[in-house]
Every structure is written in C-alpha cells, then in structure tokens.
Structure 1
Amino acid sequence: MMKFFQHSFISSLVAGFLLMVSSASYAAPIQYITDIYGDRTNQLIGYGVVVGLDGTGDKSQVKFTQQSIVNMIKQFGVQLDGGINPKLKNVAAVTVTAVVDSHKGPGQKLNVTVSSIGDAKSLRGGTLLMTQLKGADGNVYALAQGNVVVGGFSAEGNDGSSITHNTPTAGRIPNGATVERALTAENDDDPTVYLQLKKPNYQTALNISKHINQTFGPGVAKALNKGRVEVAAPVDSEDRIMFISMLEQLEIEEGKTIPKVIFNSRSGTVVFSDNVTVSSAAVSQGGITVRIQEDQYVSQPGAAIGGGINAPGRTVVTDDSQINVEEKDGAAMIWPQGTNLQEIVNAINQVGATPTDLMQILQALDEVGAINGELVVI
C-alpha cells in the first residue's frame, strides 16, 4: 500500500510539474520536433564524364579521363590502339552525387550535383553521360544523365589575366537522375515506431509520451530517454499510415532549453536566444593603442674621401622610428541581477567597442559565470 501511495504521489507530482512548466512553453506538432526512425535520406555517388565543353575540360595530363573515354568508346565497337593518347580538352571527369528518400520508387526523379575531379576550368555547356549512382552498400539505385547547369563562369585572356565568378567547376542537373531500385524503409512492417527528437530534451520526451497516451490510450507510448520515444503502431499498412498521420499532428509543449549566445568572431555578429540574462556584473572597457611609424632617410655625400669633387660617395640609409602610445579611459559599467544580455551588448556598442572588444567582454562574463546561458563562438 505504501509503494502504491508513493508511486501515485510521484506520478501526480510529475504530472503537475509538466502541466505547470508546459503552460509557458511553445506548442508544436510532433512532425516539427521529431523524426520517425527509418524515414531517412540516403546518399548516392557515382563517377562519370562530362562532354561537349568548349576547350575547358581536363588537360592531357589527367590520365583517368582519357582512360574513361577509351573504355566507353570500346563498348560501342570502336577499337583503339594501345599507344593512342587522345587529347580530350572538351571532356572532364566528374563525381555525381544525389540524395534519395527511403520511400522513392523506380521511375521517380532526383536532382544531382556534378563536380569536377580533374583540372577542368569550367563545366559550363557540358553534358553528363549516363552514370550509375551507387549507395553505401555498392548497389546501383539510380542512373544520371543530362545537361549541366553551372552558376559560375571563368574567362582568361592571352596575357594570362583571368576572371572567375562563383564556381564554374561544379553544377547541377535538375531531375537529372532516375531511380532504378527502391530503398525499403526499415520500419515499414515494425509494430513499433520510434520518434527521435531533433533537439533531445527530457521534458519534451515526457510531454510527447504523456500526450500520446492521453490521446490513444495508456501504454501506447513510452519515453526511452531524452532523445527517443517508443510508440506502439498498427502493423497493417493503411492503419499504420493513418495512425502516423494523426500522430504527427499532435501539438506538443516543448521543454525549456539552455539559452544560447552565438558570436561570430569574423563578422562581429551576435545572435541571442530568448531570455538570456546575466548575474550582477561590472565591465570596464578600455585599452592601450600602440602606433609605430617607420621612416627611412637616404643621404649620398657629394664626394668620397680621396676622390674628385664630383665623385659619388657611399649611400647612407638612416632608419627613423616613431612610437606613440595612447591609453583610453575605461569607464566601468554595472548591471543588476537579471539584466537582459541584449541591453549589455547595446551599451557596449554605444561606447565604441570593436567586435574584438565585445567578444572579449562576452568571454570574460562567461568565464566568471555571469551569463545565464551558453556562449558559443564560431
């Protein structure tokens, strides 16, 4: 009886806590915050050749391009002597990549990306010849062929000057591949569906299982850990699809996450998540600027010792260094407990701090534990 009471008390406490914290959270459909295990994409890759280039293909030093063309021509009954070294400046060896969904079927189209692996200058105007696209298991899942669309260009003058815009050695072929073999999803006949949280969170996982059980009945869902929820699903295909479609529409209160401050040290951009505050802190912004100016003076006497009056003398180069040190007065800024970090950044910017100064101040605040969140410098 005591164990039952304790269990009931803890369950009631947990339920009351979830209800209390979820009221201030953001509700989102399950399909926005989770992925269904098995519903995934797969990478495909192949090796091919692009022909029809206007003299911008691989040079003769790229042997694998020549070998690829020779092997292809032999398949059409054209016999070439072993000593022939064709100059194929209109051909480029490329890698072809694509992404296929696990539920794509034969006959459906895929977008492909074509990238040069030789020393071709541009793929503009080229055509990809039929290329097999393989998965990680070595099986062929699609065939690619078509005209390459390139967003960049390159031009070169006779004097060696050149100009390049974007990347002319890579391009795309929209709908350039056809699926030849279906990839079966691993969980299509599994009586259990696993929901994987895109942002693992204990509170969110418990909210998902709790809401599913309230909707479909007790014991249907169980939170396994902060990133995975197990859900019992029908085995029949139509019932399963109907169940998952209803499951994805359930509105879930997301658990609170640690506020983050993202600082881009290269551009000085600062991005805050909601409710990033600081503890009581004082910041003194100032610094010392050292400027060094180097000058050289050249003097050449009119005559050297023992020479005539017009005889040139030895050239003398004299270095002149000027060092100037400036110290800025650093004014201390004090913020009370709970101040929003955005207010601090605005105040620091108003006193003329550089992005480097701002980064150092944020890192110092994080080091003393004054930022109520996580600082990420990229």
Structure 2
Amino acid sequence: MRRATYAFAILTFVLGLAVLTAPAHANSRIKDITDVEGVRENQLVGYGLVVGLDGSGDSLRNAAFTRQSLSAMLERFDVNTRDATLNTRNTAAVIVTAHLPPFSTQGTRVDITVSAIGDASSLQGGTLIATPLIGADGQVYAVGQGQVAVGGFAAEGDGASITRGVPTAGRIANGALVEREIAYDIANRSAIRLALRNPDFTTARRTAEAINNYLGSDAARAADPATVVLTRPDYYEGDMVALLSEVELLRVEPDLPARVIIDEATGTIVMGENVRVSTVAIAQGNLTISVTESPVASQPAPFSEGGETVVLPRTNVSVEEDMTQLGLLDEGVSLSDLVDGLNALGVSPRDMIAILQAIAASGALQAEIEVL
C-alpha cells in the first residue's frame, strides 16, 4: 500500500513538472480576435436643450441658436415669445451622442453623452429635454431625456477662478430609449464573414483550419488576410447563431508581424516578440554645454570727473561629455536580449527611441517601426 502511494506521488510530481516546463502558447478565442459581419454598433446624434442651470447656461444675446430653439420649444406648449426679449442663462444648447448596440429592441435603454455647443460655462444640475437621436440615414432610432451628470466643476469670484475636469460635458446613464430596431436576420443566413481585428495571412489560415477541424468539413476559408468566410454545413442541425456560439470558443494562436511602436510625445516604446536585430555595435553618449552669464559692474575711481559705471559681460562656458563604450548586440537576438542590451547602455527611454531609429536606418532592425 505504501509502495503504491509512493509511486502515485512520484507520478504526480513528474506530471506537474512536465506541465510547468511545457511551452506556453498565447492561444486566443476566435471571438476575441474577430468581429462578425453585421454585428456592430451604430452612432446616433441629436440636438437638444438642457434647462434648469443655475445661471451657467448660454447667453441668449451671443447664442442665437439657443434663443431660436427656446422660442420654438415654448411654442409647442402654446407660449408665444417671438416678440419678447428673452434674457436668461438657465438654458444651454447641446449636442447629444449615443451608440446603439447591435440587436437593440424597442424599449432598450442606452447611455448618452451631452456636450455644450454655446458659451455655457457648466451643465451641472441641468436636465435634458426630450431629444430625438437620428442615425446616418436620417431616421429617429432613440429619444434621450434626463438629468445630466457632470464630472467636472467650475467656480469663480471677483479675483480668481478654478475649473476641474470639463463641466460643459456630461453623461446620462440609461438616458435614451430605443424607439426603432435595426433589422438583421443573422439566424437564417447560410454564410457569414469573420473580420480579423489584426489582419494577417497566417492568422486567417489558422482560424479557418481550426473551424474546419472542429466541424470536420471545409466550412471555412480565408478569403483574404482580414476575412474568413464561414458557410453553414448542410448537415448542421442548428442555425447560424448556434454555429457561431460554438465556433467563437475555438482557440487560435495569432501571428503578428515584427513591429516597434514609438510614441515620442510620452517616450513610450512597445516591441513585439518577433522583433530581431542583426549584429550591430551601439555607442551612446551625452554632450552637455553649459553657458553661464556673470556680469560684473565696473566702478569709476573715487572723485574722478566724468566717470561712469559700466556693466561688463562675463561668460563662462563648460563642456561635459559622457564617456560611453560600444555595446554589441549579436545577430538574431530575442526581444528579451534586445531589451537587456539596450538597458545595459544605461540610456533613457527617449534616447532609446533615437537608438532604435538609428538601428532601423542602418538596416539592422528586422521589424517595422511605427511612430505615433
């Protein structure tokens, strides 16, 4: 009994060691690297009024569109103000935007964003009046209304003012009610297109192979680096929704080209795992020149006649140069070796950007550099 228990413990340890030492692959689900054709959001936009502001709205003298919109709104309630002089800062004209999720049904609520377009200083405490939200085709798909939640604030006095965030923009959670649905019958389709978020020939081929191996037929094919066409097999009993729910859980190892992303504004560098460097020697040094002005006042001799005080310029120039030895990067080094080699030079991220660009100019960097 003890021997069996001891053998079982050894077997468990060996299996665990094998799992730990096995190579790890960055396999991703198909649903995480592709988008289904037709399943997307739609942008909505509208023009409305925010009322109830505490004197922080538009000036009706400067914002003619706010005055006209306010008069038109009051006329809908049988209030005639065309010949009257309106003088209020409790109203602001705004642009309302929203994203209509796919397959949204009537009665579904979505979030909306409200942004001032006049000279209003803050939308805090305001309420958006019912605003139709239209799509690119000019049709009304939702109606927005509710109290605006503003993250920023503004306060001012006679001699000072303070502003935090953006008080002229806010959000209304679940502030729009969907009135019109966008019809898209995906269940009865016989074929669908999967769009890769990062187009690549190898990734498209692997995606099609994973689907075909799972279904046991040639139901998927890579049409181009960005598209995989999926056809529902004749023997499949479910509809396209059921097929997609099974296929999107399959795992594929994406393949990406060697690329270096550089953001010079922030000094950020992002390198892919496939970045390689040919044999190259690097030397990086800083040259600092300091110029200091120390003017000296020259006084005339005591009791001298016609003497003047003269300011004489005096300049001190010093030059300091860091002594840096050449660093050698071997051919075909991996990403970790490349990072270690650059860090060994003791350079800052901004200097590293210049080094990478110089390596690419010499032809030793086997990757594409993209500067944001």
Q: Same fold (TM over 0.5)?
A: yes
1:350 is displaced (CA, Å) by 5.0
1:320 is displaced (CA, Å) by 3.2
The 5 A counterparts of 1:324-363 are 324-349=318-343, 351-363=345-357
- The RMSD of aligned alpha carbons is 2.9
Matched, 1:209 2:208: yes
Q: 1:300 to 1:183 in 2, by over 3 A?
A: farther
Deviation string 1:254-281 (CA, Å, 9 cap, x unpaired) is 3x21133333323323333224332211
Deviation string 1:91-144 (CA, Å, 9 cap, x unpaired) is 111110000123001100000011111111111111111101000000000000
User: Does the 8 Å contact 2:189/2:240 carry over to 1?
Assistant: no
Alpha-carbon distance in structure 1 between the residues aligned to 2:140 and 2:182:
11
Alpha-carbon distance in structure 1 between the residues aligned to 2:124 and 2:169:
9
User: Does the 8 Å contact 1:234/1:243 carry over to 2?
Assistant: no
1:356 is displaced (CA, Å) by 3.0
Say which SS state the counterpart of residue 331 (structure 1) adopts.
coil
Q: 1:134 to 1:245 in 2, by over 3 A?
A: same
Deviation string 1:40-85 (CA, Å, 9 cap, x unpaired) is 1100000111111111111231111111111100110011243x33
Q: 1:297 to 1:228 in 2, by over 3 A?
A: same
Question: Partner of 2:245 in structure 1?
Answer: 245
Q: 1:350 to 1:167 in 2, by over 3 A?
A: farther
Code of the residue aligned with 2:367 in structure 1: it is G
Alpha-carbon distance in structure 1 between the residues aligned to 2:343 and 2:211:
48
Q: 1:259 to 1:47 in 2, by over 3 A?
A: same
Say which SS state the counterpart of residue 285 (structure 1) adopts.
coil
Alpha-carbon distance in structure 1 between the residues aligned to 2:251 and 2:128:
46
Code of the residue aligned with 1:331 in structure 2: it is Q
Alpha-carbon distance in structure 2 between the residues aligned to 1:301 and 1:139:
88
1:297 is displaced (CA, Å) by 4.7
Question: Partner of 2:117 in structure 1?
Answer: 117
Segments of structure 1 that go 5 or more residues without pairing to the other structure are 1-22, 308-312
Deviation string 1:254-312 (CA, Å, 9 cap, x unpaired) is 3x2113333332332333322433221110111321222234456686999998xxxxx
Alpha-carbon distance in structure 1 between the residues aligned to 2:135 and 2:124:
27
Say which SS state the counterpart of residue 173 (structure 2) adopts.
strand
Segments of structure 2 that go 5 or more residues without pairing to the other structure are 1-22
Alpha-carbon distance in structure 1 between the residues aligned to 2:233 and 2:107:
29
Question: Partner of 2:364 in structure 1?
Answer: 370
1:167 is displaced (CA, Å) by 1.1
1:210 is displaced (CA, Å) by 2.5
Question: Partner of 1:54 in structure 2?
Answer: 54
Q: 1:136 to 1:332 in 2, by over 3 A?
A: same
TM-score when normalising by structure 1: 0.83
User: Does the 8 Å contact 1:265/1:355 carry over to 2?
Assistant: no
TM-score when normalising by structure 2: 0.84
Question: Partner of 1:15 in structure 2?
Answer: none
Matched, 1:66 2:67: yes
Deviation string 1:330-369 (CA, Å, 9 cap, x unpaired) is 3111121233344444454455423332111111112222
Matched, 1:232 2:228: no
Q: 1:257 to 1:348 in 2, by over 3 A?
A: closer
Identity of aligned residues (%): 40
Alpha-carbon distance in structure 2 between the residues aligned to 1:176 and 1:85:
32
Alpha-carbon distance in structure 2 between the residues aligned to 1:237 and 1:136:
37
Question: Partner of 1:194 in structure 2?
Answer: 193
Question: Partner of 2:76 in structure 1?
Answer: 75
User: Does the 8 Å contact 1:106/1:180 carry over to 2?
Assistant: yes
Q: 1:247 to 1:345 in 2, by over 3 A?
A: closer
